[in-house]
């Protein structure tokens, strides 16, 4: 499955998306987020919209 197909098949009502968004601000500021939140990492790897939001938030945090 290519990136566009993954994006188009992502369910916007996915509860993992909601859970990810609830802690994303903390996740991007941690020094080892993968160790502390492996479920979030797995979700970001499978959900292009959430991964894009994460990258945008990381960029904003770096610019501060």
pLDDT of the residue at 34? 87
Average pLDDT, the chain: 82
Distances (CA, A) of 4 to 10, 11, 12, 34: 10, 14, 15, 25
pLDDT band at 63 (very low <50, low <70, confident <90, very high): confident
Binning the chain into helix, strand and coil, the percentages to the nearest 5 are 75, 0, 25
Q: How far apart are CA 6 and CA 22, in angstroms?
A: 22
d(CA 31, CA 2): 30
Q: Is the pLDDT of residue 53 over 90?
A: yes
pLDDT tens-digit series, residues 27-49: 999 889 888 888 899 899 988 89
Segment among 12-26, 30-44, 46-60 with least mean pLDDT? 12-26
């Amino acid at each position: 499955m290519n990136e566009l197909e993954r994006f188009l098949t992502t369910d916007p009502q996915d509860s993992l998306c909601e859970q990810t968004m609830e802690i994303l601000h903390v996740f991007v500021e941690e020094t080892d987020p993968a160790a502390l939140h492996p479920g979030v990492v797995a979700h970001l790897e499978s959900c292009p919209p959430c991964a894009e939001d994460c990258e945008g938030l990381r960029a904003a945090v770096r610019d501060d």
